[in-house]
A and B are shown apart, each in its own frame.
Chain A
Amino acid sequence: MEQLSTSTCQQPIEPCWWSKFTSKAMQNKFILIGDNPDSSWSVSVSDALCELGVLEIYSAAAAAEQICDPDVRMVIVDAGAVAGLTPLIVRLRQLSATVPIVIASASPTWQTAKEVLLIGANDCIRKSLNPEKLQAAFQEILARARH
């Protein structure tokens, strides 16, 4: 299994609703499918999620092995780092019907949004380097998925 990184929080941000409801926030696992744990965006995602749980970065193949872990709360896919986005989402959705899958793209188009949302992704977001903005987006997705 190819795990590229387990993140540590580099930029503390305000605690969120999630941490208020669990004393073991670090058990919550977030998977980022990407190819560069040191990219500015990966670091921003890590910062955004550090109050919510632990972020692990995997290649697409390795992430598929992880999605059934009951601690996994969300899979975030860096659209720019994946060769076949559609087959990957289909595969992940086959492995887990419930874990939220989020596609992040630097310049998403309406066609990308349509393609990924119609095959089972929970959301398609613009990449941002602002951890607070990212955290708000992830929290909204988690809240929607809980209902």
Chain B
Amino acid sequence: MPRLKILLVDDDEDFLAIAAEFLERNGYDVSVTSDLEEARRLLEHDSFAVAFLDINFENSDYHDKRGLTLAIDTIGTSAVPKVILTVHDEFDFARESLIPRSGKGGAAIDFLNKGNGLPQLVETIEKTVRRVKVFFSYSSTDVDVVRDLYTRLQIAGLLPWMDKMDIKPGEEWEDTVRKAIREADFAVVFVSKAGVDRTGHYQKEIKLILQVQGEQPPGRIFAVPARLDDCEILHEELNALHRVDLFDPGGYKQLLAMLNNPNNP
């Protein structure tokens, strides 16, 4: 299993080196940057299980809070959970980091004082990563793109499941898939022009996924149709569900945000 990816954003390069070394020793794959524009690009276009952001990027100016501003600015554009990590443990900074904003949650999911040491970073990562189980249903024609998404979700801290990767030699296909669907928190059904009229296992999976969706309480999302291209969803019941278009630039972020939403356990 790939290691969880963590992003550290701080203007103190010594701190970055020490914290990265500590986190790598604890089994994480760490990216670091002191550049706020690069941080924005990484937050908006890459997958991370957690990002730690310093507030102040200009030591001589106490009022500088560009790290916090970046966290606020990327509320709607990045699905990466952000944690503010600072020596400026002021009430106003904590409040501004954590207050819920316009139904989109806060700028950060936690606020940490650097002075409390590095082990709190590991505690926060483990607390944050929800290990949401996501079943992948796909046509064999789409296996490569689905496998790529499988890896992306893993490094973002989720637990995707797909038959090609998770059925062990000798295991009975149908029982194993049935069990995986039942144990999943979500089932993503990938649809594409190439795979839209495929029969066999794929259709059986969709049938079971829709059955499990039907057993959910009102409002609870289980099945998520995910279009890989501009195809028509032929399955009527599946077509009625809110879908994600992964070929759209914001599609992956939308999917990740939905799977990570604690209000949709």
Contacts and interface: CB of A to CB of B under 8 A. Distances in A.
Interface of A: 108-114, 117-118, 122-124, 126, 144, 147
B111 interface: yes
A114 B111 contact: yes
Interface of B: 89-91, 93-95, 98-103, 106, 110-111, 113
B98 A117 contact: yes
A76 B94 CA distance: 19
B89 A110 contact: yes
B100 A110 contact: no
Which of A113, A122, A123, A124 has most chain B Cβ within 10 Å? A113
B98 A118 contact: yes
Given A111-B94, A144-B101, 15 more contacts: A108-B95, A110-B111, A113-B98, A114-B111, A117-B94, A117-B99, A118-B98, A122-B100, A124-B91, A124-B95, A126-B91, A144-B100, A144-B102, A147-B102, A147-B103
Contacts of B99: 117, 122-124, 144
A110 B91 contact: yes
A89 to B, nearest CB: 13
Nearest to B95: A113
A110 B93 CA distance: 8
Given A108-B91, A109-B91, A123-B95, A114 B101 contact: no
A112 B95 CA distance: 9
A116 to B, nearest CB: 9
A114 B97 CA distance: 9
Contacts of B94: 110-111, 113-114, 117
Interchain residue pairs A-B with the least CB separation, the first 7? A110-B94, A147-B102, A117-B98, A113-B94, A113-B95, A110-B89, A108-B91
21 contacts: A108-B95, A109-B91, A110-B90, A110-B94, A110-B113, A112-B91, A113-B95, A113-B111, A114-B98, A114-B110, A117-B94, A117-B99, A117-B100, A117-B106, A118-B98, A123-B95, A123-B99, A126-B91, A144-B99, A144-B101, A144-B102
